[in-house]
Amino acid sequence: MKLEIGNFQVNDVVFGKKTEFSGGTLTINKEEAMTFIKEDEHITDLDIVIAKPGENTRIVPVKEAVEPRIRPDGRPVFPGVTGDVEAAGEGKVHALKGCSVLGVGMHYGSFGDGLIDMGGEGAKYTLFSELINICIVADTDEEYERFEQQKKNTAIRMATHRLAEYLGNTVKELEPDTIESFELEPVTKRKKEINDLQSVVLVMQPQSQMEEIGYNDLVYGWDMNKYVPTFMHPNEVLDGAMISGSFMPSSSKWSTYDFQNFPTIKELYKEHGKSINFLGVIMSNLNVSLEQKKRSSIFVAQMAKSLGADGAIVTEEGYGNPDADYILCIAALEDVGVKTVGISNECTGRDGASQPLVTLDEKANALVSTGNVSQLIELPPADKVIGELEALARDGLSGGWAYDEILGPSVREDGSIIMENNAMFCGDRIAGWSTKTMKEF
């Protein structure tokens, strides 16, 4: 299977008469784009705002991030979500690089939403401060969840996927600046010199903890709570088969942008044929009951073993309860002789003294650590807020609070904030971007 991603470097995004991409500038006819988004009648109030790196701008509550893309052959960018269920991972896709479409609540946030600072001290906490963000700022008619801490955020999230594809249309017919090629031969049809290398699988554990449909990550539009582990081609992940959900505390999440650009997949590709034979992805999940966790670890270990994997990387989209899946899966792989490395974040508490993962096992002897979800972060006021700052304190974002007898509220009168890293949008960059680690003090 071969995927070619044609990249178009976006140096600027502006509003203008015609929605087009030219000379590195993406121009958006705001009115037309808004009309397109409002085709979904659940969007009741809407604005589109552009946020650029270095601006003293704070964006909150952020629900989703997507890289704008289009498939020249007309297949949907997100099969089963923005169009019919079609196979992903093969052929050509065009991508607007250096920018993302963000789904932002005009007023209301929820547990898994996050914050992005485009400039200043806060910028270092998220990848998205480095991108030009096209922010869909919207309110919806989803009254049943308006005051719920857990929200599906369906209308806003789906709007980001749709607008990403809409903007991708600007480069549908154009020649890309560069082409990235991702190709793996079928597992049993590889050359001897590749087969002779140590074989490796990537085990991904996307978020699927909510029993009710609508909150979890989707694979080809299918809710991953009702799912057992499956062998997938890494190209499917890079090519829109996976959609982010609306549940996990934000710093531990993989946004759809993360799936589309998954650094750990790209790194394994780099080593494929040199130091390893990259077999593919075992796509697992993160359900809550112990029986479900065990079942998934059995599937994963069996598949890895049957595929002849010598090594595995396991990575989880979450912390807390999902740590049990993470450690169980690592131990199950080690038990069948697959040498395993884990990539995840930790929760050592505000004082750093708590046990870093919910469960521990000595078999997990090779772990990469990407951050502490509960690290306290204090930031000065920003000149401009996209969304509604009060949401951080008021709406139950996992890293914010309305009142604390020692720390006060997360959002102060002057616009300065104090929060846990938990609410930094995809802040622990578990997909593999993170240049953070954890050290003993």
Partner 1 sequence: MKAIHYINQFFAGIGGEEKADHKPEIREGLVGPSLALNSMLDAEVTHTIVCGDNYMGSNTEEAVSTILGFLEGKEFDIFVAGPAFQAGRYGVACGTICKAVKEKFNVPVLTSMNEENPGVEMFKRDVVIFKGGKSAAKLRDDVKVMAEYGNKVLTGKALGPADEEGYFSRGIRSQVWLESEATAAQRGVEMLIRKLKGETYETELPIPKQDMVPIAPPIKDLSEANIALVTSGGIVPIDNPDRIQSASATRWGKYDISDIENLESGVYKTIHAGYDPTAADLDPDVVVPLDVMKEYLREGRIGKLHKYFYSTVGTGTTQAEAARMGREIVENLKEDKVDGVILTST
Site residues (CB under 8 A) for partner 1? 124, 198, 200, 263-264, 266-268, 270-271, 275-276, 310-313, 315, 339-341, 343, 346, 348, 351-353, 356-357, 360-362, 364-372, 375, 421, 429-441
Closest contact distance (angstroms) between CB of 125 and partner 1 is: 10
Residue number, 50 or 373, with CB nearest to partner 1: 373
Closest contact distance (angstroms) between CB of 274 and partner 1 is: 10
Residue number, 304 or 430, with CB nearest to partner 1: 430
Residue number, 199 or 296, with CB nearest to partner 1: 199
- With a CB cutoff of 8 Å and minimum separation 6, the contacts of 351 are none
Closest contact distance (angstroms) between CB of 20 and partner 1 is: 34
> Exposure string (b/e) for 346-360, b if CB count within 10 Å is 16 or more?
bbbeeeeeeebbeee
Amino acid at 114: G
Peptide bond into 61 cis (omega under 30): yes
Residue number, 136 or 313, with CB nearest to partner 1: 313
- Strands, E assignment, 210-275: 218-219, 222-223, 230-232, 242-243
- Strands, E assignment, 40-186: 43-51, 57-66, 69-70, 91-97, 99-105, 114-117, 132-140, 178-183
Residue number, 117 or 388, with CB nearest to partner 1: 117
Please state, in angstroms and rounded to a whole number, the distance separating the CA atoms of residues 229 and 298.
Answer: 9
Closest contact distance (angstroms) between CB of 14 and partner 1 is: 31
150 burial (CB, 10 Å; 0-12 / 13-18 / 19+) is: middle
3-state secondary structure of 46: strand
Residue number, 25 or 275, with CB nearest to partner 1: 275
Closest contact distance (angstroms) between CB of 350 and partner 1 is: 10
Closest contact distance (angstroms) between CB of 130 and partner 1 is: 13
Closest to 134 (Cα-Cα) out of 238, 23, 239, 37: 37
